[in-house]
Amino acid sequence: MSAAPTTDVAVVGGGLIGLSIALAVARGGQRVTVFEGEGVGRHASSASAGGVRSLNRHPAEIALVRAALPLWAGLAQDLGQGVGFFASGQLRVAEDDAALAALEKRAALTRDLGFTHEVMLDRAALFAREPGVARHCLGALLVADDGFADPLATLRAYRAAAQRAGVTICQNRPVRGLARDGGGITVQTDTGGVRANAVVNAAGAWGGQIAAQLGEPVPVEPRGLQMSVTAPLPSFVNGVIGSEGRKLSLKQMANGTVVIGGAYQGNVDASARMARPLQRRVAANLATAAHLFPALAPARIIRSWAGIEGWSQDALPVIGPSKTMPGVIHAFGFSGHGFALVPLIGPLVAQMLMGKNPTVSLTQFDISRFSNREEDVNYA
Amino acid sequence: MERVDVAILGAGPAGLAAATVAAGAGLSTIVLDDQGAPGGQIWRAAGDVTRDRALARLLGASYGGAMEAIGAAQAAGAVFHPACDLIDANGDGALVWLDRANGGLREGQARALIVATGARERAVPFPGWTLPGVINAGAMQIALKQGGAVPDGPVVLMGQGPLLLLVLQQLLAAGADLRAVLAFDGAVPSVPFGAMARAVFGDPGLVAQGARLLLGRMRAKVPVYRDIANLRAVGGDRIEAVAFDSDRRRQQIPCTWLGVHDGVIPNTQVTQLLGLAHRWDNAARCLVPVCDDLGRMEGAPVWVAGDGAGIGGARLAGVRGARAAHDVVRALAPDRHDAPAARALAQTAARLAPARALVAALWPARDPLALVDDDTVLCRCEGVRVGTVRAAIAAGASGPNRAKVATRCGMGPCQGRICGPILAEWVARDTDTPVGALRVRPPLKPVLLADYLTLEQE
């Protein structure tokens, strides 16, 4: 029997996270093979709303996303083609006194953590920045250097850059298991095994299944975040807009279309790997948007969609080495807000694979936080 | 929320026949249709056309049985919802539609869904096909049917198939200034004798009608060009001429309208939206829903009937609609199932089938990319060109949805209705993979945000 084909690093999952990792590792001189069960970017990556947001992040993620932001500004140049990034700012408006108080509390929390990127805007400052926002709004929390990018353009750019860097991308090749094999790991697929020195689990909503197979289960729930897009409208909003206490994320793309989402969940059929939006929730989402922006009154909705994303129990990603199989590094479960982190995760995981300490601390995202062992360690 | 036993999508021959059977068996039945009056495309504006003497003379031959079918569905108690656009549906029978007459979105829940959304014209991309004035020949016929509008200025027709021959006759009769026909087919297409004999035996009326149309083209005093190559619609704001090679000679014919038709394919937007299985019909070069003889699809209480289940023509559509509805009755109310009637319909369907097979043999579908160059727009909504798609396929976009994500082809408001079938066939051919269907997202047609606000929110 001939020896199994080999690669230096195998990446499980051909979404944006997997491609970013594959690119960074290949640039470090390693041979990289990406195993994608369906097509590149099939689920969360192509369903993304494209938000590049550090505003109102979980405290554990703030340092990470603030480190990712500068990379977006240079990403098109780095990848050799456009990603549609625009530092439009992101705002979270307050529609009543309670919301205003909540935003002020949030701003104080971020300040106490030593960050200065979140800034309160009063009513006048909000309307000066966003003249199109409804007059009942009382203020907003702003991150001026946040923005958005075009997820499909980003996907194209990463794919092309990875291929140029020599990454092999295997589509329609789901990974069935990982097996220790002497000093390496065999990646098992339906068409045979591939030996690798190291493996990265970037399988998104299915990353938990890989971890479970390694004996370190992580609860990852597949969720389908709903999004809708309008036909082009005259420009009426500059930044990406959310609203405190409401489910909304709204942005107007360069072509005038408006993308409206905000954590409404569609129907997920996990076995068929399909998600579909629910129209009553689309209606609720659009009602919130229209309440905030009178200019949306004549809008036409041309498409709604939902894509499957992996939600971890604490809505934070799992990033770091496996505790049960040396040579495996996890990077999955980004819980609906991984897009902004994409340019950073690749280099960080590449650093880990080279045995270096990542330049941004990842200890809070270690997989051991889900096991009892972590408690044992903490209280020892 | 309107709860019914049966919801029928489409009020053409198939939908009306289905409604007659389902409602006749006592099942609560609604029929949704995007037009303001029942009849579908073939019997569009049936009431007006049959009342208007001039129009009836011009178009009447196709309207045989229309008023009877409409009357039968109404008499059986089917409730017709006119001017309604389906927005979303799922495999559990939940429906959302836009009620254009009354405004706003409505919700329905049916125990069974019969999809009778008919056919649509195959898209024929070529350089300049996006210029105003280049339209489907079927659209010219729609204009005739709705108030007898005749295209102004010189007209050129291009393509093949019975509808094109019919439109040619109707335009001439209506006094249109027809300058040329660019024919994809021969003067008298050849067919095996056996196929002809079976067709004549099964449906002599249809065969006679076809022969009349072919003769009509020969007798028409309009130049017919064949072996068309290097075709281009020429113009600034709209088409001013059509230029092409024929018999190795360059031709340029001034026109203000170019009517294009290359046969019809099943309208599968709804079954694609439902996420149900489709297969590629290689002879007809189109996707068809996977269903049994009675139209039942797998995995959901969904039946598909008429041309939407595979092109069969209007007469067969009525039979297939009725057969699907009998099967729905058998599933929902077995004690009311009329087995003898269903058996008789099966025999009728078998008798009519060869004539349709003859039509398919006479006008085989062509390579949809026969007339394009790299600069030709394929996706009109997003302005995606053939060369861009070609590059994406070469870079690994193995499947229509992957090509869509890579290029935005099929991502615009029409949801790939026009370019999707071409994209699907092309990607499959170049990557040697089975032809797949584009994923279709709601809303099936663009909907005003204000209309969504009429929906119950959750």
pLDDT in tens, B11-70: 999 999 999 999 999 999 999 999 999 999 889 988 888 888 888 888 877 788 899 999
Q: What is the DSSP string of B69-97?
A: HHHHHHHHTPEEE-SEEEEEE-TTSEEEE
Is the pLDDT score of A375 beyond 80?
Answer: no
B395: closest chain A residue by CA: A160
- pLDDT score, position A378: 37
Are the Cβ atoms of B443 and A301 closer than 8 angstroms?
A: yes
The predicted-structure confidence for B170-197, as pLDDT tens digits, reads as follows 999 999 999 999 999 888 777 788 888 8
The predicted-structure confidence for B299-319, as pLDDT tens digits, reads as follows 899 999 999 999 999 899 999
State mean pLDDT over A198-218.
96
The mean pLDDT value of chain A amounts to 94
Tell me, yes or no, if A282 comes closer than 8 A to chain B by beta carbon: yes
Residues of B in contact with A303 (CB under 8 A): 411, 413, 415, 441-443
Residues of B in contact with A274 (CB under 8 A): 275
Classify B109 in phi/psi space as left (phi over 0), alpha (psi -120 to 50) or beta.
beta
Are the Cβ atoms of A171 and B275 closer than 8 angstroms?
A: no
- pLDDT score, position A346: 98
Confidence tier at B325 by pLDDT (50, 70, 90): very high
Using CB atoms, pick whichever of B275, B399, B447 lies closest to residue A301.
B447
Residues of A in contact with B438 (CB under 8 A): none
The predicted-structure confidence for A94-147, as pLDDT tens digits, reads as follows 999 999 999 999 999 999 999 999 999 999 999 999 999 999 999 999 999 999
Tell me, yes or no, if A233 comes closer than 8 A to chain B by beta carbon: no
Is the pLDDT score of B418 beyond 60?
Answer: yes
State mean pLDDT over A235-244.
97
- pLDDT score, position B159: 97
pTM score, two decimals?
0.92
The predicted-structure confidence for A280-292, as pLDDT tens digits, reads as follows 999 999 999 999 9
Is the pLDDT score of B248 beyond 60?
Answer: yes
- pLDDT score, position A374: 45
* Closest Cα in chain B, distance from residue A144 (Å): 29
- pLDDT score, position A63: 97
Tell me which DSSP letter residue B397 carries: -
Residues of A in contact with B453 (CB under 8 A): 283, 286-287, 290
Question: Whole-angstrom Cα distance, residue B166 to residue B138?
Answer: 10
Confidence tier at A372 by pLDDT (50, 70, 90): low
- Report ipTM for this prediction: 0.90
- Sign of the torsion formed by the C-alpha atoms of A204, A210, A215 and A220: positive
Contacts 24+ apart (CB under 8 A), A25-30: A25/A200, A25/A346, A25/A349, A25/A350, A25/A353, A26/A162, A26/A165, A26/A166, A26/A167, A27/A165, A27/A350, A28/A350, A28/A353, A28/A354, A30/A353
* Closest Cα in chain B, distance from residue A158 (Å): 12
